[in-house]
């Protein structure tokens, strides 16, 4: 059935207020009218132009709302998003006008009167508040009304599309059953990473990749540089902490106490002994040992003090967010950058392992599924061999996106709809980059004959859900099939 045939069908009652909300104060419409300057099209939508003037005005509005100066990448991302939004709006407005939908000036005016931001304490429209808003946003009355016109017209298009949606008794029963029925699922997750160590990579393989694909190895090095190959300065530390961040602490008394600590240290007491005696940190029992800390992990004030002294020395007293501290710097490890040449063979080997591990993972998962199906139980010998164990979710709604321990798994959930107690699902499912094999261990189906009250309550919810899915798809299809030419260098979305 065509979209227009659906639109001509009768209407159902539906939760339209839950489906469509116009947010009109979150954006400011671009300027209208001839500025006297020549303009060019940033985009053309079904033959209608979005001019650079319109685009620039909207970008100014968006930039002003950001409240700060944007970096080049942020600005480019914003520009792309703004033009995409303007294109979408133009597509929907054009379709609404093509279908003969209208919004009158009186409708726009009445809507303005309902906006809470423009109402005084008595709930009455305030012209002063309205004008202050326009002035504060650098907008005009004409332009703002154009914003509302487009929003209201788009809303009517969505309402018209929703009115074409019907839900049959069969569909309602299926949705109600899915909402009220549950299954208990046992499953195993097979990750590609579990097979990295099983991949055989020869020196010839490594040299082949470095010859034919060194740019890929270099890109991997660059992406992992900060995490793996750029080690910051580190220091092995002991600390004595006197806290000022607890209720009742007196900074004067804490400072006086730190003088006593300093006196013990100056008198020759070992730092570890002084920490055990004075420190109010959990590390006091280990002589204040903090271990080796990277510079970027330390409070800036602490880092400055620590790296201002040599190994074996103690720092000045530092005031941190927790209190007054003094540190013993036992060792300093200088920063180290590992060059590409020293890592490229290791990285090439890792890349080849990552490339080949999925093939082993898939073969194992297929074998696991076959054995599990034959035995109607998970083959523990195969699982133990790879260090895997079954997991379970005892209450999976058939209307859910997936078991709680897996996340969204649409193909797996589709298979669960008709699976019975004891059934091993017929395929290996890809879920969040892992392969999943599953079995239903119990099933509880809703008795529709005893759910008459729930059926009445659920009808509006089910209809609204179907309407929203249909309208979202309809609007996305309009945009996808529109004749759009972008002149910002970006690919169509």
Q: Is 95 a domain residue?
A: yes
Quick check: 329 and 311 in contact, CB under 8 A? Answer: yes
Q: Cα–Cα distance between 155 and 168 in angstroms, integer?
A: 25
C-alpha 464/C-alpha 444 separation (Å) is: 26
Whether residue 149 is found in the same domain as residue 21: yes
Judgement on whether residues 68 and 146 belong to the same structural domain of the protein: yes
Look at the alpha carbons of 481, 483, 487, 489 in this order and tell me if their dihedral is positive or negative.
positive
Residues 245 and 387 in one domain: no
Those residues of the chain that have pLDDT short of 50 are 1-37
Q: Is residue 215 part of a domain?
A: no
Q: Are residues 238 and 378 in the same domain?
A: no
Considering the domain architecture, whether residues 319 and 416 belong to the same structural domain is answered as: no
- Pair 79, 54 in one domain: yes
Q: What's the pLDDT score for residue 466? A: 85
Same domain? 251 vs 136 = no
Record the pTM: 0.56
Q: Does some domain include residue 216? A: no
Rounded CA separation 337/225 (Å) = 9
Q: Give strand ranges (E) for 2-104.
A: 41-45, 48-51
Count: domains in the chain:
3
Render 82-99 in DSSP notation, one character per residue. Answer: HHHHHHHHHHHHHHHHHT
362 and 255: one domain?
Answer: no
The reported pLDDT for the residue numbered 225 is 95
Question: CATH number for the domain including 304?
Answer: 3.10.50.40
Tokens of 229: 């190959």
126 lies in some domain:
yes
Are both 189 and 237 inside the same structural domain? no
Would you say the C-alpha torsion 468, 469, 475, 479 has a positive or negative sign? positive
Q: Which among 47, 93, 87, 161 has a CA at the least distance from the CA of 493?
A: 87
pLDDT at residue 10 in the model: 38
For the chain, how far is it from start to end, CA to CA, in angstroms? 27
In this structure, the answer to whether residues 19 and 50 fall within a common structural domain is yes
Compute the distance between CA of residue 139 and CA of residue 13 in angstroms, rounded to an integer: 38
**Domain annotation covers residue 201:** no
- Position 15 scores a pLDDT of 37
Angle at 183 between CA 182 and CA 185, to 5 degrees: 150
Q: What is the pLDDT of residue 39?
A: 58
Answer whether 194's CB lies under 8 Å from 456's CB: no
Domain of 63, in residue numbers? 3-167+473-486
Are 45 and 484 contacting, i.e. CB atoms less than 8 angstroms apart?
yes
80: in domain: yes
Q: Are residues 271 and 360 in the same domain?
A: no
């Amino acid at each position: 059935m065509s979209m227009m045939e659906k639109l001509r069908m009768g209407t159902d009652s539906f939760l339209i207020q839950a489906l469509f909300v116009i947010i009109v104060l979150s954006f400011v419409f671009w300027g209208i009218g001839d500025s006297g300057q020549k303009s060019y099209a940033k985009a053309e939508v079904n033959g209608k132009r979005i001019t650079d003037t319109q685009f620039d005005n909207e970008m100014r509005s968006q930039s002003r709302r950001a409240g700060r100066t944007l970096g080049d990448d942020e600005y480019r991302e914003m520009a792309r998003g703004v033009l995409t939004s303007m294109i979408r709006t133009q597509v929907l407005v054009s379709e609404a006008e093509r279908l003969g939908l209208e919004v009158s000036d009186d409708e726009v005016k009445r809507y303005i009167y309902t906006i809470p931001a423009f109402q005084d304490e008595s709930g009455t429209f305030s012209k002063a508040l309205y004008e202050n808003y326009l002035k504060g946003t650098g907008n005009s009355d004409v332009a703002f009304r154009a914003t509302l016109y487009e929003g209201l017209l788009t809303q009517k298009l969505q309402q018209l599309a929703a009115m074409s949606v019907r839900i049959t008794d069969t569909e309602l029963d299926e949705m109600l059953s899915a909402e009220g029925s549950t299954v208990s699922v046992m499953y195993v997750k097979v990750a590609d990473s579990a097979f990295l160590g099983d991949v055989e990579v020869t020196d010839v393989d490594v040299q082949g990749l470095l010859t034919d694909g060194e740019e890929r190895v270099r890109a991997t090095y660059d992406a992992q540089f900060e995490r793996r190959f750029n080690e910051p300065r580190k220091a092995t530390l002991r600390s004595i902490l006197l806290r000022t961040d607890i209720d009742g602490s007196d900074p004067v008394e804490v400072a006086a106490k730190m003088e006593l600590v300093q006196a013990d240290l100056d008198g020759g007491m070992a730092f570890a002994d002084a920490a055990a005696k004075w420190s109010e940190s959990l590390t006091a029992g280990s002589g204040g040992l903090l271990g080796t800390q990277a510079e970027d992990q330390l409070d800036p004030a602490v880092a400055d003090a620590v790296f201002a002294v040599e190994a074996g020395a103690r720092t000045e007293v530092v005031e941190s967010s927790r209190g007054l501290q003094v540190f013993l710097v036992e060792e300093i490890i200088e920063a180290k950058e590992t060059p590409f040449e020293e890592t490229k063979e290791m990285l090439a080997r890792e890349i080849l392992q990552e490339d080949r591990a999925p093939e082993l993972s898939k073969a194992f998962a297929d074998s696991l599924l076959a054995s599990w199906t034959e035995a109607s139980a998970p083959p523990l010998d195969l699982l133990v061999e790879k260090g895997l164990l079954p997991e379970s979710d005892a209450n999976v709604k058939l209307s859910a996106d997936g078991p709680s321990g897996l996340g969204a798994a649409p193909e797996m959930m589709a298979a669960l709809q008709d699976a019975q107690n004891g059934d091993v699902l017929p395929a290996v499912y890809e879920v969040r980059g892992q392969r999943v094999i599953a079995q239903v261990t119990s099933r509880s189906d809703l008795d529709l004959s005893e759910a008459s009250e729930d059926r009445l309550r659920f009808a509006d919810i089910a209809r609204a859900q179907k309407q929203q899915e249909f309208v979202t798809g309809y609007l996305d299809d309009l945009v996808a099939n529109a004749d759009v030419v972008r002149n910002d260098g970006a690919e169509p979305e």
